[in-house]
Each structure stands twice: as C-alpha cells, then as structure tokens.
Structure 1
Amino acid sequence: MKRILFVEDDLSLINGLSFAVKKQGYEIDVARTKLEAEGLWPKGKYDLAILDVSLPDGSGYDLCREIRRTSKMPVMFLTAADEETNIIMGLDIGGDDYITKPFKLAVFLSRLNALLRRSENFSQRETELNSNGIRVRLLQGEVYKNGLPVVLTASEYKLLRLFMENPDIVLSPEQILSKLWDCNENYIDSNALTVYIRRLRTKIEDNPANPQNIVTVRRMGYKWNTGN
C-alpha cells in the first residue's frame, strides 16, 4: 500500500483531503508543522510527500530541500500563490508538481495518482545504464557520476532514464512529455520541462553552461549525446 506524507496546517483541508486519499486506498500521515514533518518522514518510507508552502514554523520549500538531501520520492506543493516565480522556485528546489489553492478535488486526486503511477512505472525494470561516466542502477534507483552518488528528484531521474535509454536520438519536447506524463495532463508544459532539464544538467554535466550529455538540437528538441 502506498504511503503519503501530508504536511498542511489547515484543519478543514486536512480532513477533506485525508478522507479522499484514504478512499483511494492509500495510507496517509499528517503533519501540521515543519517540525512535526521533520520528525515523521525520516522514520517512515513514503511514496509521496504533499507539502503546503506556508507553514506556521517555516516553509514547505525548506522542507523539500531537506527531503531532497536523502530522498528522491515525488514531492507535490500546495500553494495559494500561482505566480510563475513561485512555481519555478518549487520546481528548481526539487518539486515534481504543484497545485494552487483553491483546487477541485478531482484534479488533485488525478495529479496525485499520476505522480505515484509515473514513479512506479520508472522503477520496474531490473537493469543498469552506463554512458558518459553516468551510471544508473535502475532496480535501486541510484545514480552515479564518475563513481560518486548523485541525488536526483523523481522527475530528474525519469528524464535521465528516458535520455539514456534513447541515446543519440533527438526527442522533441512533445515526445518527452508524452513519455513521462499522461497526454491529458496539460498542466505540464514545455516551460516546466525546460526547468527540469536545466536542473538535471547542473547535476550530471561537468559544465552545465556547455552541456555535453544532454544537448539541445535547435528547433527539434534534446538528445543524449554519446559522441557518435
């Protein structure tokens, strides 16, 4: 059974979403403060974290940064702010999705289910990828660069797998989005994809300003370059 960590201080929202999530067949642990969440998540294995951005004793952004130090589980932000800068910040620090308040319950559940489904789909094959000094242990969900571990978010990990499994093939943004996300999930757009790719490059490229692994093919898309 999937386990979810829900960090939110609004009691009415906690009650409503917790009931709906449990009806989906998931277990859920609730924390109402950043401090309470910090005591919960290291003790349990969670498949997804849902973080309110504004907490009484801190920020969901800060909590996400702490989670990303040791975990690549999917992170969804709940925020009352829909400004582009806030959205980009959430993605840059390791978030996989965001939803702005107020939102419809059906939309929330659809996106929650999609995050869990995508995370599960990308952990099924028992094999290993090696290219350009990058090693991905697919069964363990581990990534290494020149023998040193690299911590990736769920979205970064999925992107890296897609590129490395299709070496020297130009993938258009539309192809990438369709492979990683359901076609009817229009909330994921090319701007968000650009953020994910930039973030991944900072972790696997020797010089992110001049990428050699994930290269941009002008007016076509991106490809994993093996030098062929």
Structure 2
Amino acid sequence: MTEIYYVEDDGDIGEAVKEYFESRTFKVTLYRTAEAAKESLRKQLPDLVLLDWNLPDEEGSLLCQWIRSRWKELPLMFLTVRNDTKDIVKGFQNGADDYVEKPFELEVLYSRICALLRRAGNPSGQKVISCGTLTINKEKMMVFCDGQEVSVSRLEYQLLLILMEHKGITVTRQSLLELIWDQNGNFVNDNTLTVAMRRLRQKLNQPSCIKTIRSFGYRMEDEI
C-alpha cells in the first residue's frame, strides 16, 4: 500500500484528501505541524510527502529543504494556496518535485501524485527503510546516517539490514549468525559478529537506536 505523509494545518482539507486517497487504497497520515512530520520521518519514510506552505511552526519551504537534505530521493509535492511565481520557484529550489495550487480537484491531485510516484520509481516503501537517523536503500544497497552515505562492508550491511527489518524485535546472536550465514553462504562465527557490530556502530556514530540486549542479542528501536 502506498503511504503518504500530508502536512496540512487545515483539518477540513486534510480530511478531504485523506478520505479520497484512502478510497483508492492509499494510506494517508495527517500532520498539523512541521515538527510532528519530522518526528515521524525520523522513524519511518513514506512513499511521498505532501506539503502545505503555511504551517503554524515553520514555513513549508523550510521543511521541504530539511527533508531534501536528508533523503534526496523521497518524492515531495507542495499543495498550497501560494501561487506567486517567486514562491513556486522557491519551492522547486528547496527540493520539491511538483507544485499544485489550491483550490484543486482531487482527481487531478491524485493523477499528479501517481505520475510523480511512477517517475520516482516509488523509492520508499519496501525499498527504503529507516530507524532514527539511519536509512537503508535496499535497492541500491546504500546506508545513510543523518542523510549522509556511509561506506560499510557486506557483513556490516547485512547485519544492519536484518536489525532494521526486525525493528522493535530482539534478534538473538544465534539468529543473526544463521541469517548472515544463509545470505553469504559462508560461516560467520561469534567473534566476527562482535567485531562487525563494533565497527558498524563506530561508522554510524554510535547510534542510540541500536540496543544491546545483554546475554541475548540486539534490537533496533526508534529514538524518542
């Protein structure tokens, strides 16, 4: 299911868009403030972000810039009453992929979003997963920390991917050894796992979202 984060402080417009899109099998999560949207984005990426310009705590163009600096491929679209040429240009300069002016037809908005997702190749969803400041692009096998790419070994990548795909669940050391062995076709011993985890944490600036569960294994948790 395609997921949209819609940042809009007008409850009536937000609910109308949500109802229309969810009748077409989209999932829409509404946020009234930029900070609320940021909090969710740090935990999990949607397939597309829909932004209003006039938000109570921050200008939408600044939120767009913040998102684009961290996730370069996440589709972004403005939906706003601001129709001045300077605002439209500024929106694109700050990273928007499309710009739709209010008032709008829901059917047209739906078509524009579907077209944007087709062009983007739907880079989120199952292809991009996140936890805290960490993001993995599974299609490109790339790891990002705070929006910056981090070079990791094959073993480190697989270790992080397994933990992120089991976010919120304690993964035992024995399960990790078996899963990594299955993926590589090579034996990985307990000491190798310990060293790989230590190096991975160092490369990712000791992220608090990777928890050590003493005597059991590890768990990936969203940062609060």
Shift of 1:75: 0.3
Q: Secondary structure at the match of 1:5?
A: strand
- Asked if 1 retains the 8 angstrom alpha-carbon contact of 2:47 and 2:122, the reply is no
Q: What is the rounded CA distance, in whole Å, between the counterparts of 1:68 and 1:141 in structure 2?
A: 20
State the distance in 2 between where 1:49 and 1:61 align.
Answer: 13
Runs of 4 or more consecutive aligned structure 1 residues displaced over 4 Å after TM superposition:
none
Residue 78 of structure 2 is matched in structure 1 by 77
RMSD: 2.6
Q: SS at 2:6's partner residue? A: strand
Gaps of 5+ in 1: 124-136, 143-147, 150-228
Q: Secondary structure at the match of 1:54?
A: coil
CA distance in 2, matches of 1:141, 1:78: 32
> In the alignment, what sits opposite 2:9?
9
User: What amino acid sits opposite 2:51 in the alignment?
Assistant: L
- The secondary structure found in structure 2 opposite 1:42 is helix
- Map Cα deviations across residues 156-196 of structure 1 (whole Å, 9 max, x no partner): xxxxxxxxxxxxxxxxxxxxxxxxxxxxxxxxxxxxxxxxx
Instruction: Count residues with an aligned counterpart.
Output: 133
Matching residue's letter, 1:95: A
Aligned partner of 1:101 in structure 2 is 102
Residues 117-140 of structure 1 show CA distances to partners (whole Å, capped at 9, x for unaligned) of 2212789xxxxxxxxxxxxx9941
Distance in 1 between the 2:108 and 2:91 partners? 19
CA pair 111-141 structure 1, distance change in 2 beyond 3 A: farther
Residue 112 of structure 1: how far off its partner (Å): 1.0
Amino acid at match of 1:107: V
C-alpha separation between the residues in 1 aligned to 2:88 and 2:66? Answer: 18
Q: Which SS does the other structure have where 1:88 is aligned? A: helix
Q: Does 2:35 match 1:57?
A: no
TM-score scaled to structure 1, two decimals? 0.53
User: Distance in 2 between the 1:18 and 1:56 partners?
Assistant: 20
Query: How far apart, in 1, do the equivalents of 2:48 and 2:21 lie?
Result: 12
**Aligned equivalent of 1:48:** 48
Q: 8 Å contact 2:79–2:101 — kept in the other structure?
A: yes
SS in structure 1 of the partner of residue 13 of structure 2: helix
SS across alignment from 1:9: coil
> In the aligned structure 2, how far is the partner of 1:117 from the partner of 1:2?
12
**Whole-Å separation in 1 of the counterparts to 2:50 and 2:32:** 12
Instruction: String of CA shifts for 1:5-25, please: whole Å, max 9, x gaps.
Output: 100011110110001111121
Report the AA paired with residue 8 of structure 1. Answer: E
Percent identity of equivalent pairs: 36
Tell me the distance in 1 between the aligned counterparts of 2:123 and 2:54. 31
Distance 2:59 2:122 in 1: 30
Distance 1:20 1:32 in 2: 18
